[in-house]
């Protein structure tokens, strides 16, 4: 059975990454058109980011990850497409496939 904290982190990482990209698109549209969805997307992304950080803390504790691994996942959350890479890395781990050495060291 998979670790529920790591599984929740994997499930929230994709939507968090997508919300970040949509927030960036909304920011550009706000500056170039009269379309302003930044307040809504900002709130959605903020809630997903908080969930991501909370699940990262729980997974770090339960999985006994190194600080380097947790820091990598935190850095991925602040990069525009990093959530997708985090999701892929966590999915591989969940399936039992080997994960890159830099991510586990």
pLDDT of the residue at 31: 95
- R_g of the chain, CA atoms, integer Å: 15
Q: Which two tokens stand for residue 7?
A: 């599984």
Domain count, the chain: 1
Range of the domain at 71: 4-104
pLDDT at position 1: 41
The string over 5-29, giving b where at least 16 C-beta atoms fall within 10 Å of a residue's C-beta and e elsewhere, is: bbbbbbebbbbbbbbbeebeebeee
Task: Show the tokens assigned to 54.
Answer: 């909370």
Enumerate residues 6+ apart whose C-beta is below 8 A from 74. Answer: 53, 56
pLDDT in tens, 32-50: 999 999 999 999 999 999 9
pLDDT per residue rounded down to tens, the chain (105 residues): 456 888 999 999 999 999 999 999 999 999 999 999 999 999 999 999 999 999 999 999 998 999 999 999 999 999 989 999 999 999 998 887 776 655 555
């Amino acid at each position: 059975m998979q670790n529920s904290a790591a599984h929740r982190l994997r499930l929230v990482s994709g939507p968090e990454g997508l919300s970040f990209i949509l927030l960036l698109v909304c920011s550009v549209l706000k500056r170039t058109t009269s379309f302003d969805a930044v307040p809504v997307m900002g709130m959605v992304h903020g809630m997903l980011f908080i969930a991501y950080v909370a699940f990262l803390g729980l997974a770090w504790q339960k999985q006994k990850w190194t600080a380097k691994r947790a820091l990598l996942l935190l850095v991925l959350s602040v990069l525009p497409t990093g959530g997708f890479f985090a999701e892929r890395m966590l999915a591989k781990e969940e399936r039992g496939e080997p994960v890159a050495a830099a991510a586990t060291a």
